[in-house]
Amino acid sequence: MPLLRTTRSLRTAVLAGLLLSGTVLVPAASASATPLYKNSHAPVSSRVKDLMARMTLDDKIGQMTQGERGSATPAQAAAARLGSILSGGGSVPSPNTPAGWADMIDAYQKAVTSTGLGIPIVYGSDAVHGHNNVYGATVFPHNIGLGAANDPQLVERIGAVTAEETAATGVKWAFAPCLCVARDDRWGRTYESFGEIPRNAVENSVVIEGLQGRDLGDRTSVMATAKHFIGDGGTTGGVDQGNTQISLDELRKIHLPPFRAAVDHGVGSVMISFNSWNGVKDHGNKFLITDLLKGELGFTGYVVSDWNGIDQIDGQTGFTAAEVKRAVNAGIDMVMVPNDYQKFIDTLRAEVLNGDVPMSRIDDANRRILTKKFELGLFDHPYTDRSLQKDFGSAAHHALARQAARESQVLLKNDGVLPLAKKNNKIFVAGKNANDMGNQAGGWTLTWQGQSGERVIPGTTILDGIKAGAGKGTGVTYDRAGNGIDSSYQVAVAVVGETPYAEGQGDRPNGLGLDAEDLALIGKLKASGVPLVVVTVSGRPLDIAAQLPSFNGLVAAWLPGSEGAGVADVLYGDYNPTGKLNFTWPKSSSQEPINAGDGKQGLFPYGYGLSYRRR
């Protein structure tokens, strides 16, 4: 039989065999045709394999490197072949608008996709309560309020809206949700926690489904980040980035379940925590990252370090070759090295060439990173879908934020003073947090630390809500310090609590009491004899035991975000409060840490929350 026929019949037999075996056939790429990795119809695994076969060591090390926008221009990102760029808290383009963000990120994509293999970056930002770095974004209650709402379906919807507004700006990677289980309320990141027991974070990890959508490649999807692995909420004394001194059993019982749930939700990335576990920094702990997270939990996405997190492994400032080797070999796939990214690249290259970091580790990291980039559709659609910008900060999104604010309110005391009468009432409103969008939004709002300010972001203050809800014959007076209060008023509402903070700057090792301004205000209002409703706007339970007897009503509002009117909805009874404490409320900070089941008697127990009697 002529060779040709033999060859053809052999090829036919092989093709038949392949088809029968279910192997997907993709036309072999001829020299002039598009490389397989650029074929959007090819399986992701094939695209990854084809791309990696074309990559140099520097290509691969670049993919494992994340720089901050302030230290890497698009040209520099392309030259260094960076895999990712991030915005640290408050690191924003000018103008800080969806179009400004899209222009910035598209410029990075244009630079990196027009050089070398054209691998797009994935841009990351902390969209932790809405796309909070961007002016005009819908800002939702922080996790502490969402946990009190006990409504995972609501939280999933919040994830979806957050993803839509985030994707609208070109950001396809959200460094959220924080799944920390905050055990000591003195910790500055307590408000980023859904609650003090794992169930809160487990149930609300469904926000990942909202963020990532049905398919990571959907235009409105962004990749989520389960953070911070592991034990950030369990440090001794609630010291941020401190030492979590607990047994492996307790780590598994308290802090691991939310990450197991996140993996079950298909979370695309996990961020490593700054804290130490029994004296060893998580960023260098191979047992935690490789054995526990990737092995036992079966996490197949990629692991990113926290901000300069690898620098902390040896306890000295800056990073060394030993730390780079330790972190990468521990299982970190992408390193957030905001500024010294070229030094990191050079150091890791040397560690690979000297054999201290095996090529198999580099390839595993790249396989994980590139798989997510292909799944996100970044190779096929690297530029921002600006059609999504029409709904950015929309009325519908704000309505969801208001519903979330309503459901997160916890009514802790009510002698009948609540709900407020809407008609024929005379209401005196006071306090530093009554008319301050910045204070009610809290940290991670426009800037890293957040800031006070009446109109820092669009939305409604609590005072706006009280004024808008007033009916016929009702007057509302506001004075921050309570000046003008007298017995002609039928009720006084004092909105007190904390001003914004983030991370360690929010640690309160010296007590959780109200500040002098709030205490003076409460004293003044009480002296007037007018029934007093206190609303706490704070990132944690506060020490108000001594003042509680002088309150006729008490509502924990947490950090309600854009729509303070949702708090007023509860004060007027337009929404019958359903919120329940997701943190045991201490009698004093000397009880900390105090948590459900530890036998301590707080001021209000975990799960406590009143409603109005049915009218």
Residue 307 or residue 383: which is nearer to ligand GLC going by CB?
A: 307
Least spacing, CB of residue 495 vs ligand GLC, in Å: 28
* Three-class secondary structure of residue 6 per DSSP: helix
Which helix (H) or strand (E) segment holds residue 492: the answer is strand 491-497
Whole-number Å distance between alpha carbons of 147 and 454:
26
375 is catalytic: no
Positive or negative torsion for Cα 449, 195, 239, 555: positive
Residue 126 or residue 543: which is nearer to ligand GLC going by CB?
A: 126
Residue 274 or residue 299: which is nearer to ligand GLC going by CB?
A: 274
Catalytic residue among 165, 351, 503, 518: 503
Among 58, 96, 99, 307, binds ligand GLC (CB under 6 A): 307
Whole-number Å distance between alpha carbons of 131 and 138:
7
Residue 126 or residue 209: which is nearer to ligand GLC going by CB?
A: 126
Among 164, 185, 282, 306, binds ligand GLC (CB under 6 A): 306
Report the residue count for the chain.
615
Cβ atoms of 161 and 132 within 8 Å: the answer is no
* Three-class secondary structure of residue 113 per DSSP: helix
Whole-number Å distance between alpha carbons of 324 and 146:
37
**CB hemisphere CA count around 575 (13 angstroms):** 22
Whole-number Å distance between alpha carbons of 290 and 360:
14
Task: State the alpha helices, DSSP H only, in 168-256.
Answer: 198-204, 207-212, 248-250
Least spacing, CB of residue 336 vs ligand GLC, in Å: 7
Residues 577-606 that bind ligand GLC (CB under 6 A): none
Residue 228 or residue 432: which is nearer to ligand GLC going by CB?
A: 228
Cβ atoms of 310 and 337 within 8 Å: the answer is yes
Least spacing, CB of residue 338 vs ligand GLC, in Å: 8
Least spacing, CB of residue 126 vs ligand GLC, in Å: 5
Residue 151 or residue 306: which is nearer to ligand GLC going by CB?
A: 306
Q: 494 has which bridge partners?
A: 430, 534
Size of interface with ligand GLC, in residues (CB under 6 A): 7
Q: Does 259 bind ligand GLC (CB under 6 A)?
A: no
Residues 80-139 that bind ligand GLC (CB under 6 A): 88-89, 126
Binding pattern to ligand GLC, positions 34-73, x when CB under 6 A?
----------------------------------------
Residue 108 or residue 175: which is nearer to ligand GLC going by CB?
A: 175
Residue 177 or residue 609: which is nearer to ligand GLC going by CB?
A: 177
Q: Does 500 bind ligand GLC (CB under 6 A)?
A: no
58 is catalytic: no
Residue among 259, 232, 229, 242 nearest 333 (CA): 229
Least spacing, CB of residue 68 vs ligand GLC, in Å: 9
SS3 of 121-136: the string is CEEEECCCCCCCCCCC
Rounded to 5 degrees, φ, ψ at 583 are -135, 130
Catalytic residue among 306, 375, 507, 569: 306
Least spacing, CB of residue 560 vs ligand GLC, in Å: 21
Residue 201 or residue 570: which is nearer to ligand GLC going by CB?
A: 201
Whole-number Å distance between alpha carbons of 567 and 559:
10
C-alpha separations of 183 from 175, 193, 411, 443, 584 in Å: 22, 10, 22, 20, 10
Least spacing, CB of residue 554 vs ligand GLC, in Å: 31
Whole-number Å distance between alpha carbons of 611 and 608:
10
Q: Does 175 bind ligand GLC (CB under 6 A)?
A: yes
Task: State the alpha helices, DSSP H only, in 417-475.
Answer: 437-441, 462-469
Which helix (H) or strand (E) segment holds residue 46: the answer is helix 44-54
Binding pattern to ligand GLC, positions 444-483, x when CB under 6 A?
----------------------------------------
**CB hemisphere CA count around 232 (13 angstroms):** 26
**CB hemisphere CA count around 413 (13 angstroms):** 19
Least spacing, CB of residue 370 vs ligand GLC, in Å: 22
Which residues make Cβ contacts (< 8 Å) with residue 313, sequence separation at least 6? Answer: 281, 283, 284, 319, 323, 326, 327
Least spacing, CB of residue 162 vs ligand GLC, in Å: 14
Residues 222-241 that bind ligand GLC (CB under 6 A): 227
Q: Given the rule CB under 6 A, which residues bind ligand GLC?
A: 88-89, 126, 175, 227, 306-307
Among all residues, which ones are annotated catalytic? 306, 503
